[in-house]
Structure 1
Amino acid sequence: MSTLFNFWKKSAASRPYLTILLTEIVLSSSGDLIAQTLEINNVFGTPKHQNPSTETSPPAHTEYDFNRTLRFAFCASLLSPLGVRWHRFLDSRFPFTLNLKTVHSASPPNLSSKVSILLQRASAWSPVAKRLFCDQLLFEPILYLSLFSGLGLLEGLNRFEIKDKLTNVAFPAYVTGLALYPFVQAVNFSFVPLIYRVPFSSSFDIFWDSYLSFSNSASMTQIKQQNQ
C-alpha cells in the first residue's frame, strides 16, 4: 500500500492533472458500481415514480450497465482538473497568515493574552471560512450543473429533459450535499496539502457518487416512463 501511495505521490507531483483525472476515473467508477449493485439488489426499493405493477413502467435495473459507468466516470473525471485549478486559486486568493496548529497550542497566561489569542484564532480560521464560502456557493453549483448537463447530453436527452434533470435531480442533490460537504471541505482546506485535496474529497465522493448515480438513474427511469 505504501508503495502504491509513493507512486501516486510522485506521479501527482510531476503530472498533477493527469494523475488526478485517472484517480477520479477510478473513484467515480467505484461509486457508480456501488450504486448499480444496490439497485440490482433492490436495496433502495422501487423509486416512487415507478409503479412495477403497470405495463408502462420501465423494467427494473437487473444487470450491470457498463455504458452507464463509462458516462458517469467520463463526466466526473473531466471536472477533476478544474478542481485542481480551483484549489490552487483558493490557496493564492485566501492564504494562511497564521499557523493553525501554533495558534491553537498557545497557552495564554492572563485575560488580555486570552483575548489576543482568540483574535489570532479567528484570524487564522478566516481563510478557511472564505474558502468554504466560495467553494460551496460558487464552485459546487457549477460542478453539479456541468455533471448533470454532461450526463444528459451523453444519455441523448433534449434540452427540456436536461432542464428537468437539473431542476429535479441536480439542485436537490446540491442542497443535500450542503449538509455534508462543508464539514469535509473545512478539514480539507485546513489540514490537507494542496495536491491531496481533490483525492481527499473524492474519497468521500465514492459514496456520494453512488447517491448521485442512483439519483440520475432514477430520473432516467422517470423520463423513459413519460416518453412511453
Structure 2
Amino acid sequence: MSRLLHAFNASLIKRPMVTQCATSFVLFATGDILAQQAFEKKGSNHDFARSARVAFYGGAIFGPILTKWLQLLNRLQFTSPTKAVAYKVYLDQFVFTPGVVAMFFGSMTLLEGKTVNDAKVRISEAYVPTLIRNWGVFIPTQIVNFALVPTHLRFVTIGVVSLFWNAYLSSVNAKKQAQISPAYTPEHEKKIAEVA
C-alpha cells in the first residue's frame, strides 16, 4: 500500500493532468455507484449508462478544468498565508464553483441526449439548492485544503470529499432527469417556456 501511495504521489507531481483526470474519472464513477447502490437502493437495476456519463464528466470535463484552476490558484501570490487562504477560498467558491455547478447539470443533461432547453430547466431547478449545499461542504474543506495540504495533493483532498458530494450530485441529477422524462411532458413544456 505504501508503494502504491508513493507511486501515486510521484505521478501527481510528474503528470498532474493525466493523474488528476484519471482520479476524477474513478471518483465520479464511484460516487455514482455509491448514489445508486447505497442511497437509491437500485441493486441489480443499476444504471450503467448513468455511471458511464458521470465518470466521463469527471475525467474528461471536470478533471482538466479543476486541474488548471488549481494550478492558477497556486500561482497567485499574497502578502500573508491568511490572505492567501481567504482569497483562494473566495475565488474557488464564489467565482469558480457557481459555473461548475451549472456546467455539471448542463453537461449531464446533454450527455443524456436531451436538449439545451432541457438543460436550462434542470439548471434552473437544481442550481441554487445545490450551490448552497456545496458551500456548506466545500468552504470548510477548502479552508483546510489551502491552509494545510501540500499543493500537489489539493486535488486529492477535493476528490476524497467529492466522493460523497458526487453521490449527492448524481442523485439530484437523477431526480431532475426523471422529472423531465416524457411522462412529465406538460409540466416540462411549461418550464421550458418559463426559462426560454
Which residue matches 1:133?
90
> Counterparts of 1:139-150 in structure 2 under 5 Å?
139-150=96-107
Is 2:158 the partner of 1:176?
no
SS of 1:180's partner is: helix
What is the rounded CA distance, in whole Å, between the counterparts of 2:13 and 2:129 in structure 1? 36
Deviations 1:29-72 (A, max 9, x none): 11000100135427xxxxxxxxxxxxxxxxxx960111100101
Contact 1:76/1:147 (<8 A) preserved: no
Task: Structure 2: give runs of 5+ residues left out of the alignment.
Answer: 187-196
What is the rounded CA distance, in whole Å, between the counterparts of 2:163 and 2:86 in structure 1? 25
| TM-score normalised to structure 2 length | 0.87
| TM-score normalised to structure 1 length | 0.76
The one-letter code of the counterpart of 2:150 is: P
1:75 to 45, 57, 74: 57
What is the rounded CA distance, in whole Å, between the counterparts of 1:93 and 1:15 in structure 2? 21
Contact 1:94/1:130 (<8 A) preserved: no
1:159 to 108, 113, 116: 116
Aligned residue pair count: 184
User: Higher Cα Rg: structure 1 or 2?
Assistant: 1
What is the rounded CA distance, in whole Å, between the counterparts of 2:52 and 2:128 in structure 1? 23
4+ residue runs of structure 1 moved beyond 4 angstroms? none
Is 2:63 the partner of 1:63?
no
The one-letter code of the counterpart of 2:7 is: F
Is 2:42 the partner of 1:92?
no
Deviations 1:160-205 (A, max 9, x none): 2100111112332111111121000000011111111111111011
What is the rounded CA distance, in whole Å, between the counterparts of 2:31 and 2:133 in structure 1? 17
Residues 139 and 40 of structure 1: CA distance in aligned 2, closer, same or farther (over 3 Å): closer
Deviations 1:142-162 (A, max 9, x none): 211222111111111112210
Which residue matches 2:170?
213
The one-letter code of the counterpart of 1:75 is: Y
Q: Structure 1 residues 69-78 or 212-221, which shifts more?
A: 69-78
What is the rounded CA distance, in whole Å, between the counterparts of 1:217 and 1:211 in structure 2? 10
2:150 to 183, 190, 193: 193
SS of 2:54's partner is: helix
Which residue matches 1:226?
184
Say what the alpha-carbon RMSD is for the aligned residues. 1.8
Identity of matched residues, %: 29
Normalized per residue, the structure richer in helix is 2
Which residue matches 1:119?
none
